Amino acid sequence: MSGFARFWEILIAKLPVFLPYLLKGALVTLKITGATLVVAALFGLVLALMQRSRLRVLGVVSAAYIEIMRSVPVLTTLFVIYFGLASIGIQLPSFIAAVIGLGMLGAAYMAEIIRAGIEAVHHGQREAAVSLGMTPAQAMRFIVLPQALRVIVAPTANYTIGLLKDTAIVSTVAAPELLFAAKTLVSQTILPMQVYMLTAGIYLAMSWPLARAAHYLEARLSRGV
């Protein structure tokens, strides 16, 4: 029991040093998450629209991309982008490599989410819009997507939680986010348990509100559908 008490004693004594340092990392984690979400949503929308295209080849390319991305670990994708591209002369900063690597996988998830959202909108909506003289693009932009959004929001929140946790992986390419900050602290203090527990606590503090929000949105939006 004394070891347990000592653990907390050390943690509390070091907290004023650890916490600001880790929170700075957490801020980068949030930035990476936000930037990746934007990339994943935009690229995912393109992939989803490709699957609905009348040009079959676009749909096949999109489906193949999604299958491939989902069957390769994000760490491998990240290493191809960060170390692989560097070896052929394209040296990306770790933040950009992280956003691209996570975004490429995220786009595959977002494509499925957006596709499900679009399919949930009755096709009569689109037909009515087109018969009123809208172009297919206008019908998609003003009629279908706004209605699809309510189906898309809750799973997107769920994806964001997964993404937030996946950002920890980019610590392997030295992006200065939360887990990387923790690793640096551990190498300076040799107190791995205290530092990593605190780090896990910070991740939890970020993902828990998101999980609550996703839960709330699911309950709220499924009522209307």
Partner 1 sequence: MDQLIAGYADSLGVWLPPLARAAKFTLNIALLSILVGAVAGLLLALLKMSRRPILRRPADLYIEVIRGTPALAQLYIVYFGLAGVGLTLDNVTAAVVALGLNAAAYMAEIYRAGIESVHAGQREAAMSLGMTPLQALRFIVLPQAWRVVLPPGANLGIAVLKDTSLASAIATPELMSRAYDLVGQTWRPMPIYIVVAIMYMAMCLPLGQLVHHLERSVKRSDVRIAKAPARWRQRVSAT
Interface residues with partner 1 (CB under 8 A) are 3, 7, 67-68, 70-77, 79-80, 83-88, 161, 165-169, 171-172, 179, 182-183, 186, 190-194, 196-197, 199-200, 203-204, 207-208, 211
Report the alpha-carbon distance of residue 113 to residue 154 in Å, rounded: 10
- 49/164 with CB nearer partner 1: 164
- 76/135 with CB nearer partner 1: 76
- 38/193 with CB nearer partner 1: 193
Min. distance of Cβ 111 from partner 1 in angstroms?
Answer: 16
Min. distance of Cβ 165 from partner 1 in angstroms?
Answer: 4
Min. distance of Cβ 55 from partner 1 in angstroms?
Answer: 25
DSSP for 104-135, written as a single string? HHHHHHHHHHHHHHHHHS-HHHHHHHHHTT--
Report the alpha-carbon distance of residue 86 to residue 100 in Å, rounded: 14
- 85/149 with CB nearer partner 1: 85
Min. distance of Cβ 216 from partner 1 in angstroms?
Answer: 16
Cα 197 off chain centre by: 23
Q: Three-class SS string for 23-89?
A: HHHHHHHHHHHHHHHHHHHHHHHHHHHHHHCCCHHHHHHHHHHHHHHHCCCHHHHHHHHHHHHHHCC
Min. distance of Cβ 196 from partner 1 in angstroms?
Answer: 5
- 150/165 with CB nearer partner 1: 165
- 86/128 with CB nearer partner 1: 86
Report the alpha-carbon distance of residue 48 to residue 39 in Å, rounded: 14
Report the alpha-carbon distance of residue 49 to residue 145 in Å, rounded: 11
Give exposure, 120-138, as e/b (b: 16+ Cβ within 10 Å): ebeeeebeebeeeebeeee
Min. distance of Cβ 207 from partner 1 in angstroms?
Answer: 4
